[in-house]
Amino acid sequence: MHTIVIAGGGAGGLELATRLGDSLGRNGRARIILIDRSPTHFWKPLLHTVASGKRDPLMHEVAYSAQAAEHGFQFVCGEVLSVDRTRRTVSIGPFRSDDGQEILPARSLRYDKLVLAFGAVTNFFNISGAAEHAMTLDSVWQAELFRKRFLANCMHASSRRLAGASEGTIVNIVIVGGGATGVELAAELSHTVRTLAKYNVHTLDPDHDVRVSIVERGELLLPHLNPRLSRRAARYLRSLGVEVCTSTTVARVDADAVLDTNGTRHAADITLWAAGVEGPAVCTTLGLPMNRIRQIIVNAALQTPDDDSVYAIGDCSNYICPVKGAAVPPRAQVAHQQAMYLAEVLAKQPGTRSPDFQYRDYGSLVSLGPFAAVGSLLGAAPGREMLVGGVTARVLYALMYQKHVMALHGFIRMAAQTVVHWLRSKVSPSVKLH
C-alpha cells in the first residue's frame, strides 16, 4: 500500500496526520504513519505558560496513540536519526524509558512519500557560554525544568531572607531575546511571582526581590510587529516591573550573569535563551539543500527541489513567499496552513496537478499575561492592518489554541475541553504551587 510517513507530530505534523488519516487512512487508500520522539503532543506556542506554572501540560497534551486510533493513522514512537533517500527508508532510534531502559528497539520504515515536520530548536548563534548556561523553551520537559528552577530560586531566596542573610535574597531572571517567546514569558512570570506570594510559597516582595529582565539586540521588542505595538508592549511590561534592555547585544553568558558588548553585567540566577531558532541537527543528515540556519529548502509545492518524494513543512522548512519575496516566518500559523495544503495535495490521485502553496498572513498576536495581548490583524481589507490590544487581543490570542484543538478533535470536543478547563481554573490555584 502507498505509504506516507510524517516525521514530527507538532503544530503542523499532527494536523496533517489527522487529516490524511481521515481522508486516506480510514478507508485503506494509503497507509499514514506519524513518527514522534515523544508519546504525547503539546502545542508549542503555549510552552511559556508551562514555564510560568500557569498551565499543567498533562491537562493539555494529546496522546498520539489515541489520536491515531481515532483518525485512521499509525503512530510510531522514536527519534528519527537519518533518512536513506535512495532506499526510501527512515531510521528510528530506540525508544527508552526515563531511567534509560530500552522499551522499543531501533527500527527502519519504508516510505513512498515523506513529510519532514521536525520543528526547530534554539539557535545560540555561537555566543560563548550560551549553550552551557542558558535554559531554553524547546519542549515541555525544558519548560517544566525552568518552572521548577524558578520556584526553587524564589523559595531559596525567601528562606535566606527569613534567616537574616544579606546576600542571595534577590532572584534575577534574564531572558535573552525580545521576540514573542521572551515577551510572553516575562509577562507571565511577573504574574506568577505575585500569585506564589499570595499563597505564601515565598515571602519575597514581588516588585523588588524578583527581577525579570529582557535583553534585546534590536531597538524595539517584538520586531515583527508594528512599532506602535512594540512600544505599547514595552510600556506594559515595564508597568509589570520587567526591565526592558533594548539595543543590547549579548557577548557572553556565564553561570551567574549575562555580559553585553558594552561591558555591562546582568546578574542572572537563571538565563533563558529565546533569541532565535534553527533547524534540528537531523536536517543535516538528509543530503538536501538547506539555508544557513539548517532549514530545508522547499518549492511552491512544499517539495524539496532534489527529491519530489520528500516534503517539508513548518519551522524546519524554508519556503520563500513569492508575494513578499522573503521566507515565511517560523510560526504555528504557517505550519497549520502548510499542513492543510499538503492534506489536500497528498489526498489527490497521483499525477493530479495541484495549485501552488499560497501563504496568507492573518497577522500576529502576542500575549502579555492573563489579561492583555497586542497584535495586528491582516486580511480584513487588502493591505490594511488592524492593530488590537488589551482584553480583545487576549481573547483572540486564546482562540488561536482553540483553533488548533478544533483541527485535531472537531468543534464539540474543543468546546467540551474548554468548559472543563474553565471549570478547573475556578477550583484550583491559577499557577502550579509545587
Residues of the shown chain interacting with ligand FAD in the complex, contacts defined by CB under 6 A:
7-13, 35-38, 41, 44-45, 47-48, 79-80, 117-119, 137, 180-181, 184, 280, 282, 314-315, 330-333, 335
Report in angstroms how near the CB of residue 341 gets to ligand FAD at its nearest. Answer: 13
Report in angstroms how near the CB of residue 411 gets to ligand FAD at its nearest. Answer: 21
Residue 70, H or E segment: helix 64-71
Question: 389 - beta bridge partners?
Answer: 374
Burial of 287 (0-12, 13-18, 19+ CB in 10 A): middle
Q: Considering beta carbons, is residue 37 or 148 the nearer one to ligand FAD?
A: 37
Q: Considering beta carbons, is residue 159 or 402 the nearer one to ligand FAD?
A: 402
Q: Considering beta carbons, is residue 117 or 244 the nearer one to ligand FAD?
A: 117
Q: Considering beta carbons, is residue 122 or 158 the nearer one to ligand FAD?
A: 122
Coil, strand, or helix at residue 210? strand
Report in angstroms how near the CB of residue 335 gets to ligand FAD at its nearest. Answer: 4
Q: Considering beta carbons, is residue 35 or 154 the nearer one to ligand FAD?
A: 35
Q: Considering beta carbons, is residue 50 or 154 the nearer one to ligand FAD?
A: 50
Report phi then psi at 335, rounded to 5. -60, -40
User: Would you say 13 and 34 are in contact if contact means Cβ atoms under 8 Å apart?
Assistant: yes
Report in angstroms how near the CB of residue 429 gets to ligand FAD at its nearest. Answer: 22
User: Would you say 25 and 386 are in contact if contact means Cβ atoms under 8 Å apart?
Assistant: no
Report in angstroms how near the CB of residue 317 gets to ligand FAD at its nearest. Answer: 8
Q: Of 228, 121, 137, nearest to 176 (Cα)?
A: 137
Report in angstroms how near the CB of residue 93 gets to ligand FAD at its nearest. Answer: 8
What would the 3-class secondary structure string for 327-355 be?
ECCCCHHHHHHHHHHHHHHHHCCCCCCCC
Report in angstroms how near the CB of residue 153 gets to ligand FAD at its nearest. Answer: 20
DSSP string, 230-243: HHHHHHHHHHTT-E
Close Cβ partners of 383 (under 8 Å, ≥ 6 residues apart): none
Report phi then psi at 3, rounded to 5. -115, 125
Q: Which residue is nearest to ligand FAD (CB)?
A: 10
Cα distance between residue 158 and residue 247, in whole Å: 33
Burial of 149 (0-12, 13-18, 19+ CB in 10 A): middle
Cα distance between residue 250 and residue 266, in whole Å: 10
Cα distance between residue 205 and residue 251, in whole Å: 31
Cα distance between residue 205 and residue 211, in whole Å: 10
Report in angstroms how near the CB of residue 181 gets to ligand FAD at its nearest. Answer: 4
Report in angstroms how near the CB of residue 2 gets to ligand FAD at its nearest. Answer: 22
Cα distance between residue 331 and residue 339, in whole Å: 13
Q: Which three cell numbers stand for residue 28?
A: 485503506
Report in angstroms how near the CB of residue 188 gets to ligand FAD at its nearest. Answer: 10
Question: If you search the block for the grid coordinates 539548517, which residue do you land on?
Answer: 294
Q: Considering beta carbons, is residue 201 or 240 the nearer one to ligand FAD?
A: 240
Q: Considering beta carbons, is residue 72 or 119 the nearer one to ligand FAD?
A: 119
Q: Of 242, 172, 180, nearest to 214 (Cα)?
A: 242
